[in-house]
Structure 1
Amino acid sequence: MRSFDVVILGAGAGAKLVWNGVRGRSVAVVEPALVGGRCPFLACVPSKAMLRAATAWRLAREGRFTGLFTGAVPAREAYSRAVAHRERLVNGRDDGAAAAALERTGAELLRGRGRVVRPGVVEVADTEVGYRDLVLNTGSVPEVPDVPGLAECPTWTSEQAMSTDEYPESLLVLGGGAVGCETAYLFAAFGCAVTLVQRGPRLIPREEDEASEEVAQALERVGVRVLRNTTPTGARRHGGGARVRLADGRTVEASRILFATGRRPDTSGLGLEVLGLHPEPGAPLTVDDRCRVAGAQNLWAVGDVTGVSPFTHTAHYQGRVVAANLSGHVVRADYRGVPRTVYTDPVLASVGHTEASARAAGVDPLVAAFPVSGTVRSAIDDAREGWVKLVADSARGVLVGATAVGGRAEEWISEVSQAVRAELPVATLVDTVHPFPTFSEALEGPLWELASRLPRAVAPAAVSGAG
């Protein structure tokens, strides 16, 4: 039996940071599908490429910019061109280049689904492989709503939607989280008739109330019909599509139904019971701040399977943490600075606490906001929608959260992420000088406002008047 220092089950986003970060140790990576995981082939990369194309096509149709383009093509043709660009970008979902890059690091790729058969041993394609440390990076799978008749209807997961060239005349999106909102925006922007159903009163419910409303308005501007406070109660095939009955008595007809009701960690069939672990189906694995799985020795986990902040960049971060610990360092994960993004237009980016969550955590929040239109960059780019809102802990004089809408916020939210994670004093942040003209200048106004309202003990000298 061959043995390795480290065996990684799953070659998704976080795994790459592990196999690249433990040089000098023997590594095997077990993957039954695509090296690189969902993100580069089925999720983040193709969806953002399609969203970029949709935004460009809409821009070409606006009267103020039409003269700068050679001519906007019809919606269906624009969609087909966007799909062609997407397929070039994901290389037709051929992971050969990614697999070769993995093996150039010295790691070995084993194709198949890995399963623990006894402590220190996994089985891959009927072959046993030994390990000293095992890293689980098995990701997550889509949640499928339990609705009578739904199984008989034409449906998509978000992955299927991002790997097909089908142009649905109409689409029903179930779920108002980030994936649901982005997918609804994308298809509506290309002229598809889209209805989005959200069970609660707000889209993106974890975010600030006003941010949730901004996302709803962005969807409605491109023609999405947003139905809140309702759920599907039944469905049946209707013509070539589906007819769905909602709890409020309304019905929705659509060519396709897209599931965006969440994902659950994939722990099935891993043989974890051999290690004394018995996770409930769909439940995340509990990890400590070094990403070690609770209740087992030499077992680590990264990415969606941990249930912690399920973003690709979180998996990357956890991969670095695991690699450092496997290399003999003691490194602990701190998730306070992990940003959250929704790539509608305008984009939503946030980090840390909202005003409400700060209060719930026992923080007395100071809040200051500033409109994107207050920057010169907004006039240059003709992008006047949006705002930034900062939340500070009044007792300590540090930022604990921020939300930004518009102004390419996804590109500069990490500045605030660092401030939140490092607990940098507002007294320090007011001295940050941003290049002109940029959207990031929108941070300066609310920072100075917070500084002026902080108690004298934690306010900057220039604002408090201290000598």
Structure 2
Amino acid sequence: MDRYDVVIIGAGAGAKLVWTSLAGSALSVAVVEEALVGGDCPFLACVPSKAMLRSAQVWRAADDPEWAGLFTGRVPERAAYEQTVARRERIVHGRDDTANAAGLEKTGATLIRGTARIVRPGVVDVDGTEIGYGELVLDTGSAPIRPDLPGLDEVPVWTSDEAMSSTSERPELVVVIGGGPVGCELAFLYALFGSAVTVVQRADRLIPREEPKASQAMLSLLHDHGVDVRPNTRVVRAEPHRLGGRLTTDHGDVFDASVVIQAAGRRPRSERVGLEALGVAPGRGGAVEVDERCRVVGAEHVWAVGDVTGVAPFTHTAHYQGRVVAANLAGRETRADYRAVPRAVYTRPVLAAVGHTLASAREAGIEPLTATAPMTQAVRTSIEGEPEGWLTLLAHPDTGAVIGATAWGGRAEEWISEAALAIRAEIPVEVARDVVHPFPTFSEVLETPLWELARSR
């Protein structure tokens, strides 16, 4: 039986940071992957979705009065969609992971293709072959949740992964089930290309974990692009229809769809890993519980990173956890701190947030100081033709440390990490206000609310 110091099940974003960080060490590493080296993000999620959104926004610029005069013409919607899909396929290399696999093995790690399952402490089985491990890292990701909906199997349905890999023609009628970040991005994308889009959201507002002001901004944006948003609504029945499918809601409304997109959340892939062989049971929603070092609670020499942990399910969280695990495996005591993990919804304007919202701060027993500034305070908004937006900062009333930030517009995904650093380092607003930003940049919008918070103390 072959044995490795470290065996990683899954070759996603977090796993990559483990094997690359351990490259050149004395530890032998094997990575077991049953699908694509690199995981969902580069092939089925983050990269293809943002590539399509970028193409759509460039194409739609010809409709914007700010830029329309610079265009002599453009292709129609259907052709634009086809070109966008073709560009997406180039960017994701047609979901060919050959280069990723070669890069993995170049680090000295061994790639094993197959499905792994823990059979007993210290041993995993890969398609009938046992492999020994000293340390085991789980990076099995997550899978889209499929609603328990009568008739759904009889209509055309895409998961978010399938929406980002389908090469079929642009759907004319799209019903998105779910109004979280993924649902909003997909609704925005298909609306840009002229599809008639309906979003059915069980909660009373879109992106419900964010500030109500952000939810309202997202609702207004989708409405401006013709999206029909139905909050406090559930689909209760699906049936075949000549256009594809017909959905009925709990309010008695009926929607026809060329395709139904499931965007009602994801579930950690933990059920087939064999955790029971270690005496470990997945927690709520299937998440594998980890401690602050990313070690699986209740198991020796087992670690987990990425969506399977149920902690802030973003690619950048997986990257961070991968670095934490690699440091611990190399003997450097390291603990994860999730207070400042950014969140983003890549519509345009974009939503970016980090740390507390007003509601979560109050749930934590904090009545924060707040300050808001319009994005127009940054001259860059006029230069770029993106005047829409605002920024809200939260600070702790006792320490003065920044504890939360939410921004709408101003390409906030590019500078929200400044607020993340302030949160993580517990920087008082009296210090943060002295950061000088280059002119003209969107990040200048941080200055006014920081000075306002400092004055309020």
The aligned residue for residue 382 of structure 1 is 385
Query: What is the Cα deviation at residue 61 of structure 1?
Result: 2.0
The aligned residue for residue 317 of structure 2 is 314
Give 5+ residue unaligned stretches, structure 1.
Answer: 455-467
Structure 1 counterpart of 2:301, from 298, 303, 306: 298
Secondary structure, in 3 states, of the residue corresponding to 1:368?
Answer: strand
Does residue 182 (structure 1) correspond to residue 157 (structure 2)? The answer is no
Counterpart residue identity of residue 421, structure 2: Q
Counterpart residue identity of residue 65, structure 1: W
Does residue 13 (structure 1) correspond to residue 13 (structure 2)? The answer is yes
Structure 2 counterpart of 1:101, from 103, 108, 112: 103
In structure 2, C-alpha distance between the alignment counterparts of 1:21 and 1:62, rounded to whole Å: 45
Residue 139 of structure 1 contacts residue 266 of structure 1 at CA under 8 Å; is this kept in 2? yes
Call closer, same or farther: CA 1:64–1:431 in 2, change over 3 Å. Answer: closer
Does residue 270 (structure 1) correspond to residue 249 (structure 2)? The answer is no
TM-score scaled by structure 1? 0.96
Structure 2 counterpart of 1:122, from 102, 105, 124: 124
Counterpart residue identity of residue 435, structure 1: P
Query: What is the Cα deviation at residue 150 of structure 1?
Result: 1.0
Residue 375 of structure 1 contacts residue 439 of structure 1 at CA under 8 Å; is this kept in 2? yes
After superposition, what is the alpha-carbon deviation per residue over 1:188-236, rounded to whole angstroms, capped at 9, x for unaligned? 1011110001111110001010001111111111111111111001110
In structure 2, C-alpha distance between the alignment counterparts of 1:214 and 1:165, rounded to whole Å: 31
After superposition, what is the alpha-carbon deviation per residue over 1:284-324, rounded to whole angstroms, capped at 9, x for unaligned? 01100000000000000000000000000000000000000
In structure 2, C-alpha distance between the alignment counterparts of 1:60 and 1:132, rounded to whole Å: 58
Counterpart residue identity of residue 388, structure 2: E
Does residue 239 (structure 1) correspond to residue 242 (structure 2)? The answer is yes
Structure 2 counterpart of 1:113, from 112, 115, 140: 115
Query: What is the Cα deviation at residue 32 of structure 1?
Result: 0.4
Aligned pairs (5 A) from 1:252-267: 252-267=255-270
Secondary structure, in 3 states, of the residue corresponding to 1:135?
Answer: strand
The aligned residue for residue 457 of structure 1 is none
Does residue 50 (structure 1) correspond to residue 52 (structure 2)? The answer is yes
The aligned residue for residue 437 of structure 2 is 434
In structure 1, C-alpha distance between the alignment counterparts of 2:409 and 2:181, rounded to whole Å: 15
Residue 11 of structure 1 contacts residue 35 of structure 1 at CA under 8 Å; is this kept in 2? yes
Counterpart residue identity of residue 407, structure 1: G
Aligned pairs (5 A) from 1:421-460: 421-454=424-457
Counterpart residue identity of residue 421, structure 1: R
The aligned residue for residue 458 of structure 1 is none
Aligned pairs (5 A) from 1:123-202: 123-166=125-168, 167-202=170-205
In structure 1, C-alpha distance between the alignment counterparts of 2:33 and 2:160, rounded to whole Å: 21
In structure 1, C-alpha distance between the alignment counterparts of 2:394 and 2:284, rounded to whole Å: 37
Secondary structure, in 3 states, of the residue corresponding to 1:109?
Answer: strand
Residue 342 of structure 1 contacts residue 349 of structure 1 at CA under 8 Å; is this kept in 2? yes
Does residue 337 (structure 1) correspond to residue 370 (structure 2)? The answer is no
In structure 1, C-alpha distance between the alignment counterparts of 2:375 and 2:74, rounded to whole Å: 28
The aligned residue for residue 33 of structure 1 is 35
In structure 2, C-alpha distance between the alignment counterparts of 1:318 and 1:153, rounded to whole Å: 39
Residue 61 of structure 1 contacts residue 72 of structure 1 at CA under 8 Å; is this kept in 2? no
Query: What is the Cα deviation at residue 65 of structure 1?
Result: 1.4
Query: What is the Cα deviation at residue 75 of structure 1?
Result: 0.6
In structure 1, C-alpha distance between the alignment counterparts of 2:272 and 2:209, rounded to whole Å: 32
Structure 2 counterpart of 1:372, from 358, 372, 375: 375
Residue 267 of structure 1 contacts residue 281 of structure 1 at CA under 8 Å; is this kept in 2? no
After superposition, what is the alpha-carbon deviation per residue over 1:306-358, rounded to whole angstroms, capped at 9, x for unaligned? 00000000000000000000000110000011000000110000000011211
Secondary structure, in 3 states, of the residue corresponding to 1:274?
Answer: helix
In structure 2, C-alpha distance between the alignment counterparts of 1:314 and 1:415, rounded to whole Å: 17
Counterpart residue identity of residue 151, structure 1: D
Counterpart residue identity of residue 155, structure 1: V
Residue 283 of structure 2 contacts residue 289 of structure 2 at CA under 8 Å; is this kept in 1? no
The aligned residue for residue 72 of structure 1 is 74
Give 5+ residue unaligned stretches, structure 2.
Answer: none
After superposition, what is the alpha-carbon deviation per residue over 1:153-172, rounded to whole angstroms, capped at 9, x for unaligned? 11000000000122111100
Counterpart residue identity of residue 64, structure 2: E
Using the TM superposition, name which of 20-29 and 66-75 deviates more: 66-75
Using the TM superposition, name which of 276-285 and 237-246 deviates more: 276-285
Query: What is the Cα deviation at residue 271 of structure 1?
Result: 1.3
Does residue 399 (structure 1) correspond to residue 397 (structure 2)? The answer is no
In structure 2, C-alpha distance between the alignment counterparts of 1:22 and 1:396, rounded to whole Å: 38
Residue 266 of structure 1 contacts residue 282 of structure 1 at CA under 8 Å; is this kept in 2? no
In structure 2, C-alpha distance between the alignment counterparts of 1:52 and 1:64, rounded to whole Å: 18
Query: What is the Cα deviation at residue 282 of structure 1?
Result: 4.3
Using the TM superposition, name which of 210-219 and 37-46 deviates more: 210-219
Query: What is the Cα deviation at residue 281 of structure 1?
Result: 8.5
Does residue 213 (structure 1) correspond to residue 219 (structure 2)? The answer is no
In structure 1, C-alpha distance between the alignment counterparts of 2:337 and 2:72, rounded to whole Å: 49
In structure 2, C-alpha distance between the alignment counterparts of 1:50 and 1:146, rounded to whole Å: 29
In structure 1, C-alpha distance between the alignment counterparts of 2:298 and 2:386, rounded to whole Å: 51
Secondary structure, in 3 states, of the residue corresponding to 1:77?
Answer: helix
The aligned residue for residue 2 of structure 2 is 2
Secondary structure, in 3 states, of the residue corresponding to 1:258?
Answer: strand
Residue 66 of structure 2 contacts residue 385 of structure 2 at CA under 8 Å; is this kept in 1? no
Aligned pairs (5 A) from 1:346-357: 346-357=349-360
Report sequence identity in percent: 60
TM-score scaled by structure 2? 0.98
In structure 1, C-alpha distance between the alignment counterparts of 2:66 and 2:407, rounded to whole Å: 26
Does residue 225 (structure 1) correspond to residue 228 (structure 2)? The answer is yes
Structure 1 ranges of 4+ moved more than 3 A:
none
